[in-house]
Chain A
């Protein structure tokens, strides 16, 4: 098999280890410390924010408008309506802010 094949397989194993690893390490403990639990509860907001913030900072006015409007929609509507609004606003805003 080619080097490329083995890079893919090793990359896949490394990825699987990250996906199963956190659980395997944590399940060795019988009780979870309140601070660990507090930390785990913070995971979704903490990780997902890092996927937005640097991208938002590096973007321009069209992207900012899309983020702000879709963020406001998210306060009332569901994920789907928020996402579709953001996509439409982004496409429209890019026509004007070139």
Chain B
């Protein structure tokens, strides 16, 4: 039953299945890794510091915000707080996916949470939803592939410096929203999917216009989650699905 018990051959299969899933993520996030590296060096980071930030933080949007503030000579504590704010949505991912990773050992879980990005969360959640036990090897196959390319491409971008062609003509700047839309669509079979999407969309747009980025992510998400909490749990399919019975 446990993931540790699976033989070596199927473990390597699981790893590559995970890695294969992450190819679109590498394609979509790769240009941002290079862009981050180039901007970081442009804003006064050394090549090593740019690489270190990608390797240690591993969160694209927060790295971009951090480097932008660094370039404006903002107080260090405010930069750290901003990184925390941009990444705050991970608290929700972590709370939600914990149920599906709890059969792993503590060190494995500790490593897995370090690599818990937006797409990684979506992969794991979708795997758990399909009824399979989330395998650690499979999880690492997807996570390490993205991690590897994220760091290598940051390094490449930092070394290349500001030499990045016109990103707009290639559509690179809008690849991530398209990709995230695909992830949203992946969950369309869930109860209350459409109402949650509508509420989160409206709330995030209102928050974006009033409070501003990056808080629109957490506020918009909380609005969608609140809808599911407020409505009777039977609307979310809880209590009707045998999987949820005690």
- Size bracket of the B interface: 35 or more
Q: How far is the CB of B124 from chain A (nearest CB, A)?
A: 10
**Count of interface residues, chain A, beta-carbon cutoff 8 Å:** 68
Count, A-B residue pairs, CB within 8 A: 284
Q: For A24, what are the chain B residues with a Cβ–Cβ distance below 8 Å?
A: 94
Interface centre among A23, A59, A80, A83 (most CB of B within 10 A): A23
For the complex, give the distance between the alpha carbons of A52 and B30 in Å: 19
For the complex, give the distance between the alpha carbons of A72 and B201 in Å: 18
For the complex, give the distance between the alpha carbons of A75 and B81 in Å: 39
Q: Give the residues from 150 to 202 in chain B that come closer than 8 angstroms, CB to CB, to chain A.
A: 168-171, 174-187, 190-193, 196-197, 199-202
Contact A7:B200 (CB < 8 A) given known A18-B87, A42-B192: no
A19–B217 CB distance below 8 A: no
A4-44 CB mask vs B (1 if < 8 Å, else 0) is 11111111101111111111111100001011111111111
B224–A14 CB distance below 8 A: no
* A/B interface sample: 5 pairs, CB < 8 A: A7-B66, A14-B87, A37-B244, A40-B96, A48-B183
Residue positions of B touching A, CB distance < 8 A: 23-24, 27-28, 44-46, 49, 52-53, 56-59, 62, 66, 70, 76, 79-81, 83-84, 87-99, 101-102, 109-110, 113-114, 116, 118, 121-122, 125, 168-171, 174-187, 190-193, 196-197, 199-205, 208, 213, 216-217, 220-229, 231, 233, 235-239, 244
